[in-house]
């Protein structure tokens, strides 16, 4: 069966909450008050606490799951490892934003007994600006 | 803040405590048991619970945004994951400016190591100040 290159999964809406941003920022050891203190963020000109760039994994997580679990791709989870990750970022995400993420299958390759599954996520905010584009590279070890 | 090719960004050093993967699982929603269940991790051949690759990538991102003056500066970051990150072992992120474009884009190459072994490699970032 040919891999479904370009297949797109349903868009997922994520509402960014202030406490979630702070929880994430603390979990990754951020010390910049923009991520932890809404008054500091407002004083710097932002509407609310600013999500660290890598918060992209949080608002993308529900959108990427259907791709991993797509029976058409036949991914063996017991052998799945995260090979690489890229994000390109646009405007910063702040608490109160509503982010819509659409995931698609970018490439599927089998080399030397290993499977390489690459997905792309495109996330836009409520104003239609692209806040991040992610490239998710996963390897299923043979 | 001024960057030029060949310049090293300040190193970021952090020691993940034994519960960091539990907090990151809750914060990120990634509850893969290899990160939070010691017994499960050992059953699948790991030495114990291992760090989330994306937590380590967040440390690489933080090394860039701390050095460049905030989250707005990071426009792109690409990394490869290799090996596994372990708990209670100091992690070091090193990063070096490789090129500065005429439009001001700063290209940075980075990696994250634990006990001399790279667990994030081929880090490649674009910064805008």
Contact B54 A57 (CB under 8 A): yes
CB pairs under 8 A between A and B: 90
A11-27 b/e (C-beta count within 10 Å ≥ 16 → b): ebebebeeebbbebbeb
- Phi-psi group of B70: left, alpha or beta (phi > 0 → left; psi -120 to 50 → alpha; rest → beta): left
Q: How confident is the model at residue A12 (pLDDT cuts 50, 70, 90)?
A: very high
Residue B34 has what DSSP assignment? G
Residue A3: per-residue pLDDT:
84
**Looking at residues A10-35, what average pLDDT do you find?**
98
Contact A54 B58 (CB under 8 A): yes
With 80 as the cut, is the pLDDT of residue B59 above it? yes
Model pLDDT for residues A115-135, shown as the tens digit of each residue: 999 999 999 999 999 999 999
Residue B101: per-residue pLDDT:
97
With 90 as the cut, is the pLDDT of residue B1 above it? no
CA-to-CA distance for B78 and B84, rounded, in angstroms? 18
Q: Which residue in chain A has the smallest CA separation from B55?
A: A28
For A37, B19, B128, the CA distances from B35, given in Å and listed in that order, are 29, 10, 34
Q: How confident is the model at residue B41 (pLDDT cuts 50, 70, 90)?
A: very high
Determine the distance in angstroms separating the CA of A19 from the nearest CA of chain B, rounded to an integer.
10
In B, what residues contact A, Cβ < 8 A? 14, 20, 23-24, 26-30, 44, 53-55, 57-59, 61-62, 65-66, 70-72, 74-81, 122
Of B66, B76, B81, nearest to A87 by CB-CB distance is: B76
With 80 as the cut, is the pLDDT of residue B72 above it? yes
**Looking at residues B9-17, what average pLDDT do you find?**
98
**Looking at residues B5-19, what average pLDDT do you find?**
97
Phi, psi of A35 (to 5 degrees): -90, -15
At residue B46, the 3 state secondary structure works out as coil
Q: Using only C-alpha atoms, what is the Rg of chain B?
A: 16
Residue whose structure tokens are 């539990």: B22
Contact A52 B61 (CB under 8 A): yes
Residue whose structure tokens are 């809404």: A38
Contact B79 A82 (CB under 8 A): no
**Looking at residues B60-68, what average pLDDT do you find?**
98
Residue A142: per-residue pLDDT:
78
Contact B81 A135 (CB under 8 A): no
Mean pLDDT value across chain A? 96
Residue A79: per-residue pLDDT:
84
Determine the distance in angstroms separating the CA of B71 from the nearest CA of chain A, rounded to an integer.
6
The CB density around residue B24, as the number of other CB atoms within 10 Å, is 24
Model pLDDT for residues B95-116, shown as the tens digit of each residue: 999 999 999 999 999 999 999 9
- What is the share, in percent, of chain A residues with pLDDT greater than 90? 89
Identify the residue with better confidence: B82 or A24: A24
CA-to-CA distance for B71 and B94, rounded, in angstroms? 18
């Amino acid at each position: 069966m040919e891999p479904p290159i370009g297949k797109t999964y349903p868009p997922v809406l994520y509402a960014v909450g202030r406490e979630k941003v702070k929880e994430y920022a603390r979990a990754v050891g951020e010390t910049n008050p923009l991520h932890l203190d809404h008054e500091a963020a407002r004083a710097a000109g932002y509407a609310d606490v600013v999500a660290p760039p890598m918060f992209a994994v949080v608002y993308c997580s529900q959108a990427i799951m259907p791709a991993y679990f797509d029976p058409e791709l036949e991914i063996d989870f017991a052998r799945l490892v995260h090979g690489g990750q890229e994000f390109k970022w646009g405007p910063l995400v702040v608490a109160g934003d509503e982010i819509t993420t659409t995931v698609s299958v970018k490439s599927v390759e089998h080399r030397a007994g290993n499977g390489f599954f690459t997905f792309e996520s495109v996330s836009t905010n409520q104003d239609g600006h692209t806040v991040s584009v992610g490239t998710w590279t996963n390897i299923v070890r043979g | 803040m001024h960057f030029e090719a060949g310049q090293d960004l300040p190193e970021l050093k952090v020691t993940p405590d034994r519960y960091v993967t539990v907090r990151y699982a809750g914060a990120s929603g990634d509850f893969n048991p290899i990160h939070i269940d010691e017994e499960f991790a050992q059953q699948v051949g790991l030495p114990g619970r291992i760090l989330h690759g994306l937590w380590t990538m967040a440390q690489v991102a933080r090394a860039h945004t701390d050095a460049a003056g905030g989250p707005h500066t990071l426009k792109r970051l690409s990394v490869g994951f290799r090996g596994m990150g372990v708990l209670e072992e100091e992690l070091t992120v090193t990063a070096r400016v490789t090129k500065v474009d005429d439009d001001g884009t700063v290209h940075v190459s980075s990696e994250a190591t634990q006990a001399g072994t790279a667990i994030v490699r081929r880090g490649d970032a674009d910064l805008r100040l």
